[in-house]
A and B are shown apart, each in its own frame.
Chain A
């Protein structure tokens, strides 16, 4: 919980400074700095292999970054250096929850059980690390009721109430994506990291997802979002960071990013020298 070198203003929830991640000879992330503001949806976009998932894995402790500092500030002002925490401490102490690019549900547990497992730490404490729970203490009973209420709340938000008693592996793909988000929300996070939540969804499911994300943001939870689909990003995000080959090539509002020639070049697959040309042309256009 050491304080960072630069103090954070209260509206910044996550600050990534000079993050680098090396896999053998491959620089998957190269000196990346970015900020996510509290209560906003920050999108992280970029072509395949740009290093987006690697950034997530560094933030959530699954990879130890080669270099750099990741500072998370909670609402109460406590700061955590994420690179110093172990993976399970990050959701527990720092309040960061995540989903995975290839869905990771507990497929043999029911939908409801998935949401209860997410509340493990709270329930564990309430059950006196199992002992009081086995004796059936009333405090534990109350905690169980509360946890089911919380699960119901998110089941409702994710439109999964009808399927609560079905095994998670039995849900259709779109519902599994929503369940994974609901499960992450049941940990009570302040920052929610979503890795391509809209991948493979049909337009209707995609729209439902957008609504769900807005609801989550309106509850005061900040969202960090990886997304390929530009239209989704432009619709829902407040702030966009563009990554290419592990480096940040653009950062700003959706409109700003959309018109950034380097972003257009990255997405259209233009060579570097051609980017210079595009910029030159734009500048010329400006001069006229």
Chain B
């Protein structure tokens, strides 16, 4: 029996062929109009259509062959593995965690610390601009934002659809205070966080009485209001033009990264001028900020306030019956999350050198929330991985110009990043409905620390 499934049992193969053909027919019918036919405007601006049989054939073939392989080979293989696992007993599996698995976090941190130099070594100065900036910094910003939102959504269970508002407050605080008063980055970084937290409290006060869907809608509205204020308060924010020429962060006031400055970092170290040093510096700043977020989150979870956040997510009424002031508890979660959003915003402003309301649209909030949900609400590791896959995936798509060969020269791969999000969402929700890392670590234990399965935790309703 085992040997038969390995080589492909005849009945299994027949079934696979049948299902493959079926999938092909279905996808043919489905894609016939979407893919097989394309409309366009000709020279006279008339709408005409042409066929794309080749592309349609690719779609149908992928579906048919994919189904054939899944049913014929992948599924029997997986079943067999499950069987083998069941035979060998559950205990053994948890014992035999690989070295990589056990030391995953340390390895990841070490990798991140050497990452800029690694990329310098491998692809040189010009090449590493892309790897440090587009991949490294970009991903880490989203990691930080998602970790910040995780406090609100993942721990306290408050569905906030307007998180980007605090990101915007942080970014504009830095941009305005730096260009009007010339304060330095190192002064404005904490200030932006505090201002964002203040906004969190101000917005939170009226909003946090609402629960569930109502809270989600009102936070969404507040996010949009902040953006509209930024657009329309042209005297201060310069409206849609945005604020440009924002000061760069300095090396703790010792060296500057401006070219031509007297205390230039490049001159001080006798290096040839390149913007890569500044990028590497920024990389370490955002890495440190991420670590700060993670550290504070981990510490707060063990504090009474963090435990109250999680209890709030589980059952708000029970919380009140135990004498917990749910309003202030929610407010602290909101403010703490907002503060990290503010830090990230200030960093974003100094990295871009330019802020405009364009950067703070609802889609950003949705992406950050999607990362939190995909990663597994409450889990820092899961969220970091989700951010890497999602944001890194977007950047990778940008690189995939070879797809133009398949889909024609008009194809811009990065426009399909939402497709990537959708796909990732569907896959994760199908196989891991609680997100990538669905379990939660208890914050206290008597005998042994055992992860709590995601099937017991709740998402919160307010």
Contact = CB atoms under 8 A, between A and B. Distances in A.
B456 A120 contact: no
Contacts of A109: 307, 310-311, 314, 442, 452
B442 A106 contact: no
A72 interface: no
B437 to A, nearest CB: 14
Contacts of A184: 321-322
Contacts of B317: 62, 100, 104
Contact of B442 (A110, A117, A134, A169): A110
B450 A165 contact: yes
B414 interface: no
A104 B303 contact: no
Interface string B200-228: 00000000000000000000000000000
Interface residues of B, number: 38
Q: Name, among B443, B452, B455, the residue most crowded by chain A CB atoms within 10 Å (CB to CB).
A: B452
A110 B321 contact: no
Contacts of A170: 456
Contact of B310 (A106, A123, A124, A133): A106
Interface stretch (B7-15, B100-108, B323-331): B323-331
B444 A113 contact: yes
Contacts of B313: 108
A161 to B, nearest CB: 8
Contact of B322 (A91, A155, A169): A91
A106 B311 contact: yes
Contacts of A104: 315, 317-318, 321
B299 A134 contact: yes
Given A165-B442, A167-B453, A88 B448 contact: no
Contact of A108 (B305, B321, B457): B457
B87 interface: no
B452 A108 contact: yes
A113 B322 contact: no
A62 B319 CA distance: 12
A130 B300 contact: yes
A91 B304 contact: no
A248 B452 CA distance: 46
B459 to A, nearest CB: 10
B458 interface: yes
A278 interface: no
A134 B446 contact: no
Given A106-B310, A164-B446, A167-B453, A117 B323 contact: no
Contacts of B452: 108-110, 167
A113 B458 contact: no
Interface string A112-146: 11001111110110010110011000000000000
Given A124-B304, A130-B304, A134-B303, A110 B311 contact: no
A76 B89 CA distance: 59
A147 to B, nearest CB: 9
B451 to A, nearest CB: 10
B303 A113 contact: no
B323 A91 contact: yes
Interface in B405-462: 440, 442-450, 452-453, 455-458
Interface string A70-114: 000000000000000001111110000110100011111110110
Interface in B300-356: 300, 303-305, 307-308, 310-311, 313-315, 317-326
A165 B447 CA distance: 7
A189 B413 CA distance: 63
Given A112-B445, A120-B304, A120-B307, A88 B440 contact: no
A116 B307 contact: yes
Interface string B371-393: 00000000000000000000000
Given A120-B304, A124-B304, A134-B303, A88 B320 contact: yes
A49 to B, nearest CB: 21
B11 to A, nearest CB: 41
Contact of A113 (B315, B324, B443): B443
B448 to A, nearest CB: 6
A60 interface: yes
21 contacts: A87-B320, A87-B321, A88-B319, A91-B323, A92-B323, A100-B321, A104-B321, A107-B314, A110-B442, A112-B446, A113-B442, A117-B322, A117-B324, A120-B308, A120-B324, A121-B323, A130-B300, A130-B305, A134-B303, A166-B450, A187-B322
Interface of A: 60, 62, 87-92, 97-98, 100, 104-110, 112-113, 116-121, 123-124, 127, 129-130, 133-134, 148, 152, 155, 161, 164-170, 183-184, 187
Interface of B: 299-300, 303-305, 307-308, 310-311, 313-315, 317-326, 440, 442-450, 452-453, 455-458
